[in-house]
Amino acid sequence: MSLVRSAATVLAKELRVELRTHDLTNTVFFFVLMIAGLFSFAFSPTASESRRILPGLIWMAFFFAGTLMLQLCFVREQTNDTLAALRLAPIDPFAILLGKILANFAFLAATEIVFVPIFSVFYNVSVGDVIGQLLLVLFLGTFGLAVVGTVFSAMSAQARMRELLLPLLLLPVLAPVLIAGVEATSELLAAGHSVGRVWLSMLAGFDLIFTTATWLLSGYLVEE
């Protein structure tokens, strides 16, 4: 089977599991909703302040939601002991990771599509004009989060205190994504209509470098 086809099979399996249980999406949706409210209580921002803090808030909310969600992606395989079956499958190990990366990306992207308008209403910042570019920036950053997060989830699945470990590994590595994402989002919300090419290429570069690294190291990640 070709890489694309086997990755698509893994992706379809992940989506099917999720559509049956709704574990991940329910948790993540509730988590982001809660953050959106709690931050407003904590800072009770005025209109101009919201414009300033909203980019950082959106990114932090999705980052934490992402780390919360990614923990489950390999633990779920472990509890059902299905990882061995995946390993035995005659497919490229990168296909397993890629399928999972795409699934995690899809869950987070869906959350973003739902919650960007909600954030916009809660914080009274209009995003209608820039929604396309805003989603592009968010998706580029989220793909980086999904790549690195899936890899680290595979790594930490067998460690002690893995629930604690994953965010500790993931968040420092994501620092460049956070900086680039927040800056790009601020530019969009403040000046509007255009986003600096520098930040877009930083996000795309991050995705490219870590996807390549994952591809090169996938053999080691999936082995027992």
Partner 1 sequence: MKLGKTAWNLAWWAVAIALAVAGYTIFFVAPRELTMGSIQRIFYFHASTGISAYLCFFLSFLASIGYLASRQPRWDWMAVSTAEVGLAFDTVVLITGPIWAKPVWGTWWVWDARLTLAFIVELLYIAYLLLRRLSTEIDRRALISAVFGIFAFLDVPLAYFSVRWWRTEHPGPVIAGGPNNGLDPRMWHVFAFTWLALLALMILMIRDRYRLEAMRQKVNDWKAEEELGLDVAEGKEVTQ
Residues forming contacts to partner 1 in the complex (CB under 8 A) are 148, 151-152, 155-156, 158-162, 165, 168-169, 171-173, 175-176, 179-180, 183, 198-199, 202, 205-206, 209-210, 213, 217, 220-221, 223
Three-state SS at 159 = coil
How far, in Å, CA of 97 to CA of 147, rounded? 9
- Shortest reach from residue 13's CB to partner 1, in Å: 24
Contact criterion met (CB below 8 Å) for 116 and 34: no
Please say which residue, 32 or 183, places its beta carbon nearer to partner 1: 183
Using the minimum distance from each CB to partner 1, give the nearer residue, 112 or 183: 183
In the complex with partner 1, the residue whose CB is nearer, 115 or 206, is 206
Nearest approach, Cβ of 206 to partner 1 (angstroms)?
6
Alpha carbon separation from 220 to 92, 143, 214 (Å, rounded)? 12, 21, 10
**Based on CB atoms, which residue is closest to partner 1, 8 or 155?**
155
Q: What is the residue-wise DSSP string for 99-110?
A: HHHHHHHHHHHH
Distance of closest approach, residue 152 Cβ to partner 1, in angstroms? 8
Burial of 204 from C-beta contacts in 10 A (0-12 / 13-18 / 19+):
middle
> Shortest Cβ distance from residue 117 to partner 1 (Å)?
28
CB 177 to partner 1: min, Å: 8
Q: Are 106 and 145 a contacting pair, CB within 8 Å?
A: no
